[in-house]
Structure 1
């Protein structure tokens, strides 16, 4: 449901309330913007249908709207995808919540169909986040939170993942009295970063940094790889010169210049003696340099690290 919120000066702000649904028509937003002259949209939504939320996000971007979110209302789950459609995005800490996507009980998917559907949805969400200029690692954070829980993002997390852009102080008159219109949202969950101290923690931190680097643009990715590998590498069971390893990875990166690799939360296992061996599972997404072809999946990895 779309509502107009009058503010002290300037055009009204649009409030989108309720869950996103398959039957939603984003064209209604286009007509509302044309009729009201609104430049900003805000949300009171706990999520809903992922595809519908992304459709609204694309409409928001095409209309050039800015998104703004107060903590006293919430934009959670699928709503986050609509929020990041904003050309300029501002939100108070704890106003944006994320968790795993899920299928409705009525979907009645068997095991194989469910796996395929999850992979397809993951690829679509990653493509959308990249399209909107958001770090696709936001999806990794979302996947680490169960469907019956919610992770509210801190200010630093929203900046790190590029969920927000611009200053919350630029918001239009603080959206008038919107803060009094609905009950408060759940307080935000804050996290404190801890520097790795043990060898095992350092090995896991390296593995995370490795996949983060491989998810960057090619120049940054290969700057990391050149420093990371020894001159001779055990590569897929064969002793291989570093130059050959880098060249193979360069060929892949040239064909698939947009990549997102993230270690599945809880999957990494590390054993250290003189060196550390890390085994785990990585979720990956890649997009071709031509034809907009995308590919995604899940793979096991094994990496030996010498600090």
Structure 2
């Protein structure tokens, strides 16, 4: 691990929640996501991940596997994957077959990121699974079952993933607490932390992951991604206004309201109470908003603090051109 990581020395990646904008449709979102993926590929981003969410009016990424195929089919070289597939919602064999199919279609470009949460509310989780029985051991067992299906061909196996077996699709564990950090370390898998909405446990999770990491066939040394929010613009004032879309999105989360992504506003003060403002700010601790100079200074401090191996940016920006510009500015910073 480098003693002092710099922005120019680490890969940058994208987490796309495929937001549905107010007054727009999911079809519109799929078009803008593909356009964003094509641009960030040109700008040198390493991977483009899509997150599984369900029953959320502002997010269109419920059929995550289909969207991964859509993005991979419309790009040439960028890695495309899940950030993540919520494994409790799916049988491991089905996931193995789906990602075996993706890897067969787009060899060497697919990532399989796995999450332990349902990515939705309890009622919707029941509708997805039909059954919520299980215990805390299910997730590790399911991860290992999935590893088996995507691992070396076992000619004696009575159940095999076809396609899937022997393809060794790179697997990642995602987390917002220390649980997945421990499991990723035990299994020797790369780890991605959701500090874009759950910043509190980031440092503890990174320490546990690095201190207890066991090398594996997939990975010899620990490798950690931190997902953060990024809103870059030509000036601090412009970025702050663009970021009011992000604030409104997290206000939705706190209130439990399901709204499409909202356009920016001049001020948030009439929209949230002091306690709501505090709660949003706590969730958005690792959010970098501002001009290139401002953002670079904040990101550099974050890298010094965390020493992560890769940064993944989520971006709640309403206007597509402004969103593209934000990712372009971040890419430019990484080259300086």
Same fold (TM over 0.5): no
User: Larger helix proportion, structure 1 or 2?
Assistant: 2
More RCO (CA 8 Å, sep 6+): 2
Larger Rg: 1
Query: Normalization by structure 1: what TM-score?
Result: 0.29
Query: Normalization by structure 2: what TM-score?
Result: 0.27
User: Larger strand proportion, structure 1 or 2?
Assistant: 1
